[in-house]
Amino acid sequence: MNYTLTQIPDRTAKPRESGLTMVMDKGLSLREVEDFLSVSADHTDIVKLGWATSFVTPRLNEKLAIYREAGIPVYFGGTLFEAFVVRNQFDDYRRLLDKYGMDHAEVSDGSIDMVQDDKCEYIRQLATQVIVLSEVGSKDEAKIIPPYKWIQLMKAELEA
């Protein structure tokens, strides 16, 4: 840090087990990724390529390499997972994770309807291949989930 502020805990060193910082890459260019990392790499623990931007990202392998060279894991966001699942292409999605050397994957149902048992089964299957991150909730603001239900969903997905 550039100066001292009292009552602020010290930041733990990487690799961290808690207090992780996830950053969403919403379609940054290679140069923007380099600039971002020049000021934030020490504070960034993992990067999510959001909203299936990887589908249209030019030079995707180069972008992934930049993050990896900085020691930052990167993963495809849940919207891409959903795009494959809704088209009955789950096996293709698993091959895609291997093709791009992904160590993490996100499972979500934010923009599609999915039975909770099915979501948990996807988590179980992917967990044999990668570290799974699960997103709970919907992008549809009309779909209100009461707090007790959030807890049930999160517990089920953690168990999966």
- Can you give the pLDDT at residue 145? 86
- Can you give the pLDDT at residue 147? 86
How many domains does one find in the chain? 1
Residue 48 dihedral angles phi and psi, to the nearest 5°: -105, 125
CATH number for the domain spanning 116: value is 3.20.20.70
The CA distance from 45 to 101, in Å, is 18
Contact present, 154 and 136 (Cβ < 8 Å)? yes
Task: Confirm whether 36 is domain-assigned.
Answer: yes
Task: Confirm whether 3 is domain-assigned.
Answer: no
Task: Confirm whether 7 is domain-assigned.
Answer: no
Confidence category of residue 138, pLDDT binned at 50, 70, 90: confident
11-27 tens-digit pLDDT: 888 999 889 999 999 99
- Can you give the pLDDT at residue 4? 87
25, β-bridge pairs? 49
Residues in the chain: 160
47-73 tens-digit pLDDT: 999 999 999 999 999 999 999 999 999
Task: Confirm whether 12 is domain-assigned.
Answer: no
Query: Could you tell me the pTM of the whole model?
Result: 0.90
Q: Are strands 104-107 and 74-76 parallel, antiparallel or unpaired?
A: unpaired
Task: Confirm whether 44 is domain-assigned.
Answer: yes
80-120 tens-digit pLDDT: 999 999 999 999 999 999 999 999 999 999 999 999 999 99
Task: Confirm whether 10 is domain-assigned.
Answer: no
